Amino acid sequence: MVTTLLSDDAPQFKQIAHHHALCWIHDGRNYKKLRPIVPYHKEKLEAFLDRYWDYYGKLCEFKIKPDAEVAEQLSAEFDQLFTTITGYEQLDERISKTKEKKEHLLKVLLLPEVPLHNNAAELAARAKVRKRDVSLQTITEEGTKANDTFMTIVQTAKKLSISAYQYIWDRVSNKFEMPSLAQIIREKTR
């Protein structure tokens, strides 16, 4: 059973798990969508984003060395940061929307093992989408299975920092000099 889920705040992910954490990178992208023209608004946005990412850095440090007292300080600092009024209406609205997500964005203070972003999962999914965009689709079910198998091998090898080419060659040539990917994963998780 999944007890904790990290998502980009899409509605389909609500109420799937007991703990729902939100991705800071996705939240930060909402600020990048703001395109101020007035120089004063540009300055306010840049200044706020500097504070935003400084705060994110503090959360990253907290994950390395969790501490209940620091968690309280970070919670209070969140309230202070996300009650900022800049006078730039769209930025102030965006800040207010982030504040509403406090419980989910700060899930890391309760569960430090939860990642602050889900970019690794997204990047893995994008590899398949990029391949599909270039190759269109497979013609047969066997082709789809072969495509999925090779994509999985390549992405897993990449994550394990081994050469997918050497691994596949080792298997196709029947040398079996390299350990299986499953064995490498088990050894790395011990």
**Are 38 and 76 in the same domain?**
yes
Would you say residue 131 lies in a domain? no
Contacts of 79 (CB under 8 A, 6+ apart): 99, 102
Task: Give which of 107, 116, 48, 57 is closest to 83, Cα–Cα.
Answer: 48
Residue at a domain's end among 92, 110, 128? 110
Compute the distance between CA of residue 132 and CA of residue 128 in angstroms, rounded to an integer.
6
Cβ contact 150:157 at 8 Å: no
Would you say residue 62 lies in a domain? yes
Would you say residue 38 lies in a domain? yes
For 34, counting Cβ atoms within 10 Å of its Cβ (0-12 exposed, 13-18 middle, 19+ buried), the class is: middle
Would you say residue 47 lies in a domain? yes
Would you say residue 115 lies in a domain? no
Domains identified in the chain, total number: 2
Would you say residue 54 lies in a domain? yes
Residue 52 Cα distances to 31, 44, 87, angstroms = 10, 12, 17
Cβ contact 98:22 at 8 Å: no
**Which residue carries 């497979």 as its tokens?**
138
The reported pTM is 0.63
Phi-psi region of 136 (alpha: psi -120 to 50; beta: other; left: phi over 0): left
**Which residue carries 């929307």 as its tokens?**
97
Encode the chain (190 residues) as per-residue pLDDT tens digits.
Answer: 557 666 665 555 566 655 677 788 888 999 999 999 999 999 999 999 999 999 999 999 999 999 999 999 999 999 999 999 999 999 999 999 999 999 989 998 998 888 888 755 555 555 555 666 566 677 788 887 887 788 888 888 888 899 989 999 999 999 999 999 989 888 887 7
Would you say residue 73 lies in a domain? yes
**Are 38 and 82 in the same domain?**
yes
Contacts of 6 (CB under 8 A, 6+ apart): 21, 22, 23, 114, 115, 117, 118
Termini Cα distance of the chain: 22
Domain that holds residue 81: 4-110
